[in-house]
A and B are shown apart, each in its own frame.
Chain A
Amino acid sequence: MSTTDRRPALAVGTEEPGQPVEGRSPWRLAWDRLRHDRVAVVCAVFIGLLVLVAVLAEPISMLVGYGPTQQDRTGGITTDGLPTPPSPHHLLGTDNLGRDILVRIVYGSQVSLLVGVGAAVAAVVIGVVVGLCAGYLGPAVDTVLARLMDVVLSFPFLLFAIALVTVAGPSELIEIAVIAFFSWAAVGRIVRGQTLAIREKEYVEAARSLGAGDVRIMFVDVLPNLVAPVIVYTTLLIPVSIVFEATLSYLGVGIIPPTPSWGNMISDSQNFYQVAWWFLVFPGLALVLTTLAFNLLGDSVRDALDPRTEFRGR
């Protein structure tokens, strides 16, 4: 890759000519790149709003006037017992039991964010610790842990996740555990590869000659150099976990009805989508927009943290 004709990444393009040159840390540079990335800002705002909606689910449902499992038997269901289309009473329509879809989507966002973020964070923590150990502690530990990661990665994971949830009984915590269990190995592999390279660096040798123990070197000298890929991976793992959760709920082994989750709403809609498009489209849209926002943000974060990326105000 030729870099000769490129402007150095330092020239972020925000400073006026003639201003004194100001030293900026790599984190500051990454932050500046991210701030000027319009797509990233839009996605971050969307995710911020979503978090707000999830936190304020109860006030919102009081404002709308219906609870998440409350059945509106008078205006929320036709005389044939079918869902009613969007109207001033039910802005996004109702489902087959006369429940307000807007309120259920709002409550569903709690599940998606909780399980999605929880599972991604858990997977990253496990993956980082196992990856560090595999990469740092030498060939014997490495062989065992690398083989373990191979086994986890070659599991038919959705099938096994279904089996696991059925045995353990569905709940949010079990869902987080199952998703994390099948996601950490990918993180572990990346961290292991990077650690193998970093442990040979001079500064690690220096730390060791100063008498630092293995644990200290792993977490104080090696880990900070892995923060960038780990942040990127976490952002990209969240949408994967959200989809995973929705899939489990869709297949009937996730969140137990009547508690709303986007997955079980879409599953309920499968028998009614021909007469009630809103029943399928709105929860589907919520799910797609959320994963899209996290994916785009993750992409931008990767670009921003990569020192080779040129700054361009997209």
Chain B
Amino acid sequence: MVRFLVRRLLTGILVIWLISVIVFGLYFVAPHNVATLLLGKFAAQDQQLVASVTHQLGLDQPIRVQYGHFVVRLLHGDLGYSYYSHQPVTTLLAQALPVTASLAIGAAIIWVTLGVLIGVLSATRPRSFLDRGATLFALTGLSFPTFVLGLLLLYFLFYRLHVAGVDFFPGGGYVPLTQDPWQWAVHLILPWITLAVATMAVYVRLTRGQLIETLGEDYIRTARAKGLRESRVTYRHGLRAALIPIATQFGIDVATLLGGVIVTEQVFGLNGLGRMSVQAVTNSDEPVIIAIVLLAAVFVVAANIVVDLLYAVLDPRIRLS
């Protein structure tokens, strides 16, 4: 167990290191000069100024040295300053993180619970009306690009309702949880749905397929034969075995989640990490981009370790080694 954790942590760190090198390297092949960008119109007038700013930022040193400085600062919890807003990157991340966390965690809860539930309902009633409806929903949901779904929800549930005189759903924006929990939830309902639907469809199909296969196993017959209630057979005996592939899928989806977050935040005007990253890319704000990519990589690696640990909880036969 401990050996497993240590090994996973070490490979995780290796992956994060590789990503940091790739991202860092990418920005040094970028065809632009940071100092010129920062100085704007002053750059054209004063070449000496450009040189001194470049020197100040340490950008005139070899890339190896720059990367070394970056790692040392990183280990001290310093991610540098944004080229654009001149604030510390850590401050910017701290501002954006609650928005993204609210969005992502809420959506994940919705897609896992609803996805598994609908999957169970359609697996226990194969080829029924409900099952066919669920399959149709899953395939349609899978085919809806996040931004199309988000904009359509905005059009119908915000704008059409607004025209009809009902102002329940806001047209975007974010209210902090600490300020007003009710408004926080109301502002996030549409983004949650937008982010959850496509992924939920995957879980519906996965749960349905797994459960149908599991319910054909001998031990399920035994459970029924000893007189257990059908709900107990389905949820305790059947679903438990189906949860392993669902956990695997969840690990995969965490990496995809950030992509969905970028688009959803863009559609609903939420100032989270996703929107911040798009703006940083547009502004060539390298310190911010590197920080967000690293943060996302850490998150993905951590989530996958948690999923591996979950296996042992879900199925006692699995030994972590």
Segment with Cβ contacts to A, from B55-63, B113-121, B296-304? B296-304
Chain A residues within 8 Å of B29, by CB = 167
B26 touches A164 (CB 8 A): yes
- Say whether chain B's binding surface is mostly helix, strand, loop, or mixed: helix
Q: Fill in one digit per residue for A78-102: 1 if any B CB lies within 8 Å of its CB, else 0.
A: 0000000000000000000000000
Q: Mark B243-268, 1 if CB is under 8 A from A, else 0.
A: 00000000010011011001100110
Would you call A246 and B145 a contact (CB within 8 A)?
yes
Q: Residues of B at under 8 Å CB distance from A?
A: 11, 14-15, 18-19, 23, 26-27, 29-31, 139-140, 142-148, 151-152, 154-155, 159, 213, 216, 252, 255-256, 258-259, 262-263, 266-267, 274, 277-278, 281-282, 284, 289, 292-293, 296-297, 300-301, 304
Determine the distance from Cα of A166 to Cα of B31 in the docked complex, in whole angstroms: 10
User: Which B residues are in CB contact (< 8 Å) with A267?
Assistant: 147
Residue of chain A at shortest CB distance from B150 = A270
Q: Top 10 closest A-B pairs, CB basis?
A: A158-B259, A156-B296, A292-B143, A291-B143, A284-B148, A156-B258, A154-B300, A243-B145, A167-B30, A250-B147
Could you tell me if A155 and B297 are in contact, using CB atoms closer than 8 angstroms? Answer: yes
A255 contacts the other chain (CB 8 A): no
How would residues 33 to 63 of chain A score, 1 for a CB under 8 Å from any chain B CB and 0 otherwise?
A: 0000000000000000000000000000000
Report whether B297 and A156 are in contact in the complex, using a CB–CB cutoff of 8 Å.
yes
Does B148 lie within 8 Å of A288, measured CB to CB?
Answer: yes
Interface residues of A in 263-312 (CB under 8 A from B): 266-267, 269-270, 273-274, 277, 280-281, 284, 287-288, 291-292, 295-296, 299
**Size class of the contact patch on chain A:** 35 or more
Given contacts A159-B277, A273-B151, whether A287 and B145 have CB atoms under 8 Å apart is yes
- Kindly provide the distance from the CB of B122 to the nearest chain A CB, expressed in whole angstroms: 15
User: A277 CA to B163 CA in the complex, in Å?
Assistant: 14
Residue numbers in A under 8 Å from B216 (CB-CB): 1-2
Q: Please name all residues of chain A whose beta carbon is closer than 8 Å to the beta carbon of B27 when the two chains form the complex.
A: 167
Q: Is the CB of B262 within 8 A of A158?
A: yes
Taking a contact as CB atoms under 8 Å apart, the answer to whether B23 and A295 are in contact is no
Determine how close the nearest CB of chain B comes to the CB of A138; give it in whole angstroms.
20
Asked whether, in the complex, the Cβ of B155 is within 8 Å of the Cβ of A273, the reply is yes
